[in-house]
Amino acid sequence: SSFDAMTIVGNLNTDNAKKLSKFMSIEPQIRLWDILQTKFKAKALQEKVYIEYDKVKADSWDRRNMRVEFNPNKLTQDEMLWLRQNVIWHMEDIGFTRLDLAFDFEYDLNNYYVMSDKALKKTVFYGTNGMPETKYFGVRDSDRFFRIYNKKKERKDNADIEINSEHLWRVEIELKRAMVDYWNDCFNDLHILQPDYSTINKTSERHTVMALLFDESEWGKLNRNTKYKFKKIFKEISPIDLTDLMKLTLKENRKQLQKQIDFWFAK
């Protein structure tokens, strides 16, 4: 497990804004544009970091005026130190507004069924072969958004990197705003299951499970108690829940992940 995207926000006071834009305009690691007295946009470290400062917008929206976005996996230790020293340290009142947690599986997650104890909107995108390639859970703008996708397929489309394992799927959890502080506890309601309906003896229940597996919209036709009952059945007929593996991985990497977060606050 790793953090796959980070957004750090904070405030630049007028003094530091001057200092920083001066530094940025002569620093070869930075490409600066849209620069005015009260705002600028920049990309740093071979375009791997996006930086935006906008005082007017921040004041009118009552939010912090500077934001820095990057994928920590793509930065070397030296680049991270450079970013912290030359950019982040100019900011006051800093915090995270977005963290993405990523888990990679060498299974074909196409055969798995994703279910939440809460009501979650589900969107599926199919590839040219008619197979699901990306599944989204939740709403894009909410504080928590899940994405499950065929990483091997994505890598094939984007680059010529060959992945040796037969399957590679990624589960990504995008946390924003209030949820960022709960990264450690952000998918307790989620289940990634491999249900075996053939083990259900009661024909009517077996058929309902088959219908639910075949067509998501069938859930909408069940009343609350029946929904609860079938969610329970789904868990009972699935020997594996991959979220247990995710929880275990998170537990093992917790200290290292926390260290990654603390790094940006260290003075």
Closest CA to 169 of 155, 159, 157: 155
Is 130's pLDDT higher than 90?
no
Same domain for 12 and 86?
Answer: yes
Judge if 158 and 265 occupy the same domain. yes
Q: What is the model's pTM?
A: 0.83
CB of 123 closer than 8 Å to CB of 136: yes
Instruction: Assess whether 81 and 124 both reside in one domain.
Output: no
**124, 181: one domain:** yes
Any domain includes 163: yes
Distance of CA 22 to the CA centre of its chain: 34
Kindly tell me the sign of the dihedral angle through the C-alpha atoms of 204, 189, 192, 219.
positive
For the cut 90, the answer to whether the pLDDT of residue 50 exceeds it is: yes
- Report the residue count for the chain: 267
- The total number of structural domains in the chain stands at 3
Gyration radius of the chain's alpha carbons:
22
Q: Residue 145: what pLDDT?
A: 94
pLDDT at position 162 over 70: no
95 belongs to a structural domain: no
**Does the residue 96 lie in any domain?**
no
Confidence of residue 215 (pLDDT cuts 50, 70, 90): confident
pLDDT band at 156 (very low <50, low <70, confident <90, very high): low
Are 179 and 143 a contacting pair, CB within 8 Å? yes
30 and 76, same domain (yes or no)? yes
H or E element, residue 17 = helix 14-26
Any domain includes 152: yes
Q: What's the first-to-final CA gap in the chain, in angstroms?
A: 27
**Quick check: is 156 in a domain?**
yes
Question: Which of 90, 110, 126 is the endpoint of a domain?
Answer: 90
Residues 190-214: what's their mean pLDDT? 94
Domain containing residue 121: 102-188+244-267
Same domain? For 13 and 139 the reply is no
The answer to whether position 54 is within a domain reads: yes
Looking at the structure, tell me whether residues 229 and 159 fall in a common domain. no
- Clarify whether residues 63 and 138 are in a common domain: no
Which CATH number is 82's domain given? 3.30.160
172 and 264 together in one domain:
yes
Q: Are residues 44 and 131 in the same domain?
A: no
Tell me which of 133-137, 155-159, 257-261 is least confident: 155-159
Burial environment of residue 27 by CB neighbours within 10 A (0 to 12, 13 to 18, 19 or more): middle
Distance CA 149, CA 125 (A): 9
Q: How sure is the predictor about 170, in pLDDT bands with cuts at 50, 70 and 90? A: very high
CA-to-CA separations, 222 to 52, 67, 82, 202, 212, in angstroms, rounded = 47, 44, 55, 18, 10
Residues 147 and 266 in one domain: yes
Segment 223-239 shows an average pLDDT of 94
219 within domain boundaries: yes
In a domain, 221, yes or no: yes
Q: Same structural domain for residues 40 and 81?
A: yes
